[in-house]
Structure 1
Amino acid sequence: MLNEAQQKMKTAGMEARFVTGDMKKFVVDKPIDAIICACDGVNYLVNDADLVSFFKTCWLNLKVGGVLIFDISSYNKLTNILGNNMFYDDREDVTCLWQNKISNNMLYMELTFFIKEDHLYRRLDEEHIQRAYKIDDVKQLLEGAGFGFIKSYNFLTKEEATEKNERIQFLAVKQ
């Protein structure tokens, strides 16, 4: 995925540094302007200690005035929409069965893919665990890690986030 992103940046004539590794403890060689964590990466940090470690690591790697931008699937989405439900998606080349169970703010997901290869189907099983976070809890942990000017938005809008939103985007600035 990172290779594709790097290629798209290069094609667009833009520069960005992509880092792969443990998001709770990474180090860059010099402070940077921005850190972006997309596609529910933060939901995969399933306890406060890991989330605080991620926030502190970001704070340490940012320049003063640097921004941390990330998104989460909301508490509402994980507990009320996805939680304790089953979904399926049947397409020409792949079928996905997706079983969810919510317990103590944790969403346990079991996904089974049947991927068409020639005249056969290959089965692929995945398990994922995501934590459902409330907006105010995330903001409080960001403040505790040293961030200021903390904002939350309904995903890809300028509207202030509410607990009813399905996706929430956060912006925090290193002061």
Structure 2
Amino acid sequence: MRKFTKRSAAFVTAGVIAVTGAGAAYAAWLLSGTGSAAATAGSAAQLSVSGITVTPAFGPGSTNDVAFTVTNTNAFPAEITSVSIGTITNAVADTVCADNNVVANEDADQPASLPTLGAAGSATDEATITFDDALKMIADPQNGCQGVNFTIPVTVAAVSAAS
């Protein structure tokens, strides 16, 4: 039987270390992990339209501007894309002053510069818009329309402006 020398012992030790080290290095490449998450998308809130004013006061044949404030209550910015006037009404009988004495002016151009509102709580989450010549009173309104208050619904359309 052969005797192990210091030299033989060194080769055997080096071989064991090499194999063990290679095994450890190989094991480092086999690490893995998995996971998953679930999330629900939020829902967009309606923009708030308030402070609607009409200038000047209605008169026979007048065209009138509509000014209002829009507020974004969403957590993302919103770009306003259009403004529209709904069906105009008043609280008096049609025989006194029919609703159609004041109508949306279909010839009016959209406001020239529609804003992008910042996310809710930001310094830019609110803007005032003026819709020039948005309304008109017909040229021959009923006499009973003098002093009557009209309800003017204003709708703004918008899209998300998140980047």
TM-score range, shorter chain: under 0.3
In the superposition, the TM-score normalised over structure 2's length comes to 0.23
In the superposition, the TM-score normalised over structure 1's length comes to 0.22
Richer in helix (by share): 1
Q: Which has the higher contact order (CA 8 A, sep 6+)?
A: 2
